[in-house]
Amino acid sequence: MSAILLAAGAGSRFGGGKLLAPYRGHPLVEAVLSELRGAPVDEIIVVLGKSARDEGERLRRVCSLYGARIAGNPKWEEGISTSVKRGLSACAPDARAAVILLGDQPLVGAAAVARLVRAFERGTEVAAATYGGRLRNPVLFSRGVWPMLEVELSGDEGARRFLREHKDLVTEVPCDDVADPADVDTVEDLRRLEARSPGERDEPEGG
């Protein structure tokens, strides 16, 4: 079982350096990696794009603390779909499925990943976390659908269109009680997350 953490974006709305920004005493990306260490996955792959030299080296050091492998994506500017494909290509040859997560969602943790893995073990091809009945991240894809992703994913939409067009393959997995898909796009988002009390949640967004 592979976990693919997408961390190749430029974070332009944040002003750069988003994944290394301090969040509760640690780099933001470390919050996600720390949770993944307790998830039922056998490997963690972090997909990185082009960043400033110092920033890239710091990201690699943080990832190495959690035993994560780095997969560089030279096409990261073409959209998130290229990072998904790069992550899948970096998975172990015997990986049966991959869970896709985002590096800027610190409250999506091990329990949500575990629920997706259990759905896969029961036979689902695609397991997607839902919050308030809406599909969000993380999403698990069995190896059998990877060739479809390679053909159909494009641009910066990620897997949303794929999930819409292949509803027959998708098992929705409610995760409201164990995770929160709040993401960090701006400095204000980060401050708002830090200020929240334990258990406090954002209203689910559309998508």
Q: Where are the domains of the chain?
A: 2-192
Furthest CA-CA distance within the chain? 45
pLDDT per residue as tens digits for the range 41-79 = 999 999 998 765 668 889 999 999 999 999 999 999 999
The helix/strand/coil state of 22 is strand
Is domain 2-192 given the CATH code 3.90.550.10 in the classification?
yes
* pLDDT tens figures, 18-47: 999 999 999 999 999 999 999 999 999 999
Contact 135, 159 (CB under 8 A): no
Instruction: Give the per-residue pLDDT at 207.
Output: 38
What average pLDDT does this structure show over 82-89? 97
Q: What's the pTM value of the predicted model, to 2 decimals?
A: 0.92
pLDDT digits (tens, 9 = 90+) for 136-191: 999 999 999 999 999 999 998 889 899 999 999 999 999 999 999 999 999 999 99
- Average per-residue pLDDT in the chain? 91
Q: DSSP per residue over 59-114, as a string?
A: HHHHHHHTTPEEEE-TTGGG-HHHHHHHHHHHS-TT--EEEEEETT-TT--HHHHH
Residues 6+ apart with CB under 8 A from 82: 73, 75, 76
Under a CB-based contact definition with an 8 Å cutoff, are residues 102 and 183 in contact? yes
